[in-house]
Every structure is written in structure tokens, then in C-alpha cells.
Structure 1
Amino acid sequence: MSSIPAELKYSAEHEWVAQTDTEGVVRVGITDFAQDALGEVVYVEHAAVDAEVAAGDVVGEVESTKSVSDIYAPVAGTIVAVNTALDQEPQAINADPYGAGWLFEIRLSEISGIETLLSAEDYTNQVG
């Protein structure tokens, strides 16, 4: 069974969203379920820092030994940081998807955007 931390929010596209210490900024990654389905991650194409994104926009991709998957912005805002450590160690997504394997941070254009995301319970129901 995949790990689905209760304190996070989730998108239907298998991204997780966590509050950061900076008000109005959230951290985004792919879920344990998604990394497991992808298999061994070998490359990450990062989102563009300073890019304005709408919820649902494709902002990068994750390449694994099995496939290439788009990464979507789960909320609207401005990309303020990317996890460049993944350039050298993309497998951190597999080893620690909710920690060292985070992908990018977004400064929310509207705080209310988080309210449209799935709770851990809703996401659990989605992935079965």
C-alpha cells in the first residue's frame, strides 16, 4: 500500500502539496503511488523558475525506466524554486517522494486554490 500522509493535499494527477514555512508558498512533488507506478526515476525536467502557471498546466516531466510522465501545477501561482538536487540524484523521488524528492515550490496566486485539492482520504479513495 502506498504512503499517503494525512497532512498533505493531493491532485487527481498524483501530485502532493505541502505548506512551507513561507506564507503563501507551497511545495509540490509526486506521490508515493505515482513514483511506484513510474518505476526507477532517471531524469527530471524542472519547472521554469519565475514562470506564472495556472492549475493544471504542464510544468515539467519525470522520466523513468518505464515511461515519461508530465508534471502538472496543482495550483495557480509563480514557480519560486525547483529542487536542483534531482539533477544529480533523480532517484530521490523513489527513495523519499515526500521529502528529498520534492519537485518545486509555488507562490500561490490565491490561497483558496489549495481548497480545491483532495484530502488524504479523498486521494486514498481515488487510488484504491
Structure 2
Amino acid sequence: MPRYFTEEHEWIDVEGDSATIGITDYAQEQLGDIVFVEVPEKGTELDKGAEAAVVESVKAASDVFSPISGTVTVGNAALEEEPELVNSSPEEDGWFFKLTVSDAAELEGLMDEDAYKTYCEGLD
């Protein structure tokens, strides 16, 4: 399953026409302790780059953007009760939402893991 990354520190796993989206380990480290997460509702239509979710930490509130266009199939309800999952497992159990991919060509502008690591190194 290929994984892609955005400059806004979202990750996206794609399997067929389904995608899972969350924030990267780098992003959760920058935010600090996560205290609240709001995920999109099932059926929400998202355009590439649209605000999709909200994450609040002890330091700041931040929007999570949709890396590609699609229709939300499920939001991670576990994050409402356990927002700290974003800190403890940002790239696995702490995923934010899943969607049906509208246009797979939108993946072409995203980074692979090596490119993302290089990008983050340039930020420090």
C-alpha cells in the first residue's frame, strides 16, 4: 500500500479507490499533547486542500487538510474519546478519516517517504 505525504504534514495511504488520512509523527511532535480532535462526518465531500478535520493541542489548534478529493467514508470515532492516539500512534491508530478517491491523478503531486524526510530535514 503506497503512502504519500503533503507539505502540511498529512499522510495518506491508498488501497484501490480507498484512502486513509492522518497527520505525521513530525506534525504531532510540533503540536505537543493532543487534547481534542474533530473528524469529518461520513458523506462529507472534500476537495483537495480543503479543511477536513481539526486538531487541538496544549500549544495550538490546527486544521488538517484533505490531500486529495473524495467522499468521507468514515471518521475515526476513537479520537473523540482518546485524542492522545494521535500522539502515541500518529501514523497507525491515530488516523483521522478515510475517503473514496475521486481523482487518483491528484496523488502525483504528493511526496513519497524519502522526499518527505528530506523536506522535514530542511525545516529544522
**TM-score after normalising by structure 1:** 0.89
2:12 is aligned to 17
The runs of 5 or more residues in structure 2 that have no matched partner are: none
Any residues of structure 2 matched to 1:60-71 within 5 Å, and which? 60-71=53-64
Q: Distance in 1 between matches of 2:53 and 2:23?
A: 12
Query: Sequence identity, in percent?
Result: 33
2:109 is aligned to 116
**TM-score after normalising by structure 2:** 0.92
Letter in 1 for 2:13: A
Deviation at 1:59, TM superposition (A): 1.1
1:27 is aligned to 20
Q: Distance in 2 between matches of 1:40 and 1:99?
A: 17
The runs of 5 or more residues in structure 1 that have no matched partner are: 1-6
Cα shift readout 1:60-115 (whole Å, capped 9, x = no counterpart): 21000100000100001111111000111000000001111000001010122222
Any residues of structure 2 matched to 1:1-128 within 5 Å, and which? 7-20=2-15, 23-128=16-121
RMSD of aligned Cα (Å): 1.0
How many residues were matched structurally?
A: 120
